C-alpha cells in the first residue's frame, strides 16, 4: 500500500480503533486513494518482507517507507512507522536530510536492553517482541530447562546455543558480544552500511567508508547500563 492509502487507513483507525483490518478493508483504503487498478504498475512499489535484503531499497528509511509501505510489516512495526511517518515525513524533501530513527525490528538490539527472562512462560525469550530482552551469558542459566539455551538471540526470539542459529542473518550473539559473523560478512560483501543513511542522491558520495564502520558491539558495561 502506498502513502495515500496509508493515510486513508490511518484516518479510519482514528475514527474506530477497533476496526478489523483485513484484505478487504485494505482494498477499500486503496480504492479511496484511487490506486486499486494500478497497484502493480507503480514503479516505487516494493514488497518488504518478501526478500530480507534488497540493495536498491532500504526498508528502515522513513523517506522510502513513506512512498511504499508494505502490508507485510508486523503490527509492532506499523505502530512505530505510523508515528514516525507523521512526525518526520515533511523532512523527506529536504536535500541531505539524514533519517536517524531505527524503528525496524531488525535493529532492536540498538535500543536499551532488558535483563534476560529466566522464569515464567517466556523463559529464555528475547528480542523486540519480548521487551528487548537480551540473552544471558551465564552458562548456568542455559541449563535450567532442556534442551539447553544459549547466548544467541535467534530471529524468532529464542536464546539458543551459538552453534545452532547464530550463523544466520538477524541473530544477535551476546556470547561474543557482537552481531553474527555471517551478518557482518553479508554487510561487507554487499557494501551495506550499518550506520545512518543519507536520503539524497549523493548517498554514495557522502557515505562513510565501510572500512571505518564497526559492528554493533555489546560490552558487559554497556549491558549493565541498559
Residue-wise pLDDT for 85-128, tens only, equals 656 666 666 655 555 444 556 677 877 889 999 988 899 999 88
Residue 195 predicted with pLDDT over 90: no
Q: What is the pLDDT of residue 175?
A: 74
Residue-wise pLDDT for 35-84, tens only, equals 544 444 444 333 433 333 344 445 455 555 555 444 444 445 555 555 66
Q: What are φ and ψ of residue 172, in 5° steps? A: -125, 120
Q: What is the pLDDT of residue 185?
A: 55
Quick check: pTM over 0.95? no
Total residue count of the chain as it appears in this document: 226
Q: Which of 6-10, 174-178, 206-210, 222-226 has the lowest mean pLDDT?
A: 206-210
Residue pointed to by grid coordinates 515533511 = 90
Mean pLDDT of the chain: 60
User: Could you tell me the three cell numbers for 84?
Assistant: 514516525
DSSP state of 106: G
For the residues 212-219, what does the mean pLDDT come to? 39
For the residues 181-197, what does the mean pLDDT come to? 50
Q: What is the pLDDT of residue 128?
A: 80
Plot region of 96 (φ>0 → left; ψ -120 to 50 → alpha; else → beta): left
Helices marked H in the chain: 3-15, 23-32, 62-65, 75-88, 139-142, 162-165, 181-189, 203-206, 220-224
For the residues 15-31, what does the mean pLDDT come to? 55
For the chain, the structural domain boundaries read 3-99
CA–CA gap between residue 10 and residue 69 (Å, rounded): 13
Q: Is the distance from CB of 171 to CB of 162 less than 8 angstroms?
A: no
Residue-wise pLDDT for 143-171, tens only, equals 888 788 888 888 778 898 877 556 666 78
Q: What is the pLDDT of residue 115?
A: 92
CA 124, 125, 126 angle in degrees (round to 5)? Answer: 120
Q: What is the pLDDT of residue 154?
A: 83
CA–CA gap between residue 221 and residue 226 (Å, rounded): 9
Amino acid at each position: 500500500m502506498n502513502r495515500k492509502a496509508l493515510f486513508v487507513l490511518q484516518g479510519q483507525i482514528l475514527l474506530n480503533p477497533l476496526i478489523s483490518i483485513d484484505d478487504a478493508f485494505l482494498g477499500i483504503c486503496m480504492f479511496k486513494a484511487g490506486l486499486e487498478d494500478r497497484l502493480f504498475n507503480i514503479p516505487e512499489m516494493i514488497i518488504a518482507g518478501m526478500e530480507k535484503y534488497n540493495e536498491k531499497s532500504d526498508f528502515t528509511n522513513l523517506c522510502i517507507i513513506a512512498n511504499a509501505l508494505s502490508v507485510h510489516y508486523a503490527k509492532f512495526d506499523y505502530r512505530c512507522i505510523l508515528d514516525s511517518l507523521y512526525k518526520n515525513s515533511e523532512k523527506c524533501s529536504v536535500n541531505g536530510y539524514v533519517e536517524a530513527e531505527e524503528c525496524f525490528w531488525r535493529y532492536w538490539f540498538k535500543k536499551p536492553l532488558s535483563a534476560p527472562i529466566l522464569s515464567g512462560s517466556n523463559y529464555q525469550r528475547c528480542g523486540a517482541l519480548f521487551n528487548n530482552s537480551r540473552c544471558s551469558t551465564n552458562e548456568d542459566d542455559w541449563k535450567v530447562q532442556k534442551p539447553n539455551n544459549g547466548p544467541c538471540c535467534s530471529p524468532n526470539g529464542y536464546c539458543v546455543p551459538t552453534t545452532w542459529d547464530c550463523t544466520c542473518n538477524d541473530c544477535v550473539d551476546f556470547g561474543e558480544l557482537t552481531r553474527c559473523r555471517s551478518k557482518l560478512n553479508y554487510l561487507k560483501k554487499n557494501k551495506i552500511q550499518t550506520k545512518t543513511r543519507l536520503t539524497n542522491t549523493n548517498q554514495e558520495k557522502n557515505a562513510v567508508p565501510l572500512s571505518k564502520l564497526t559492528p554493533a558491539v555489546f560490552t558487559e558495561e554497556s549491558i549493565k547500563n541498559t
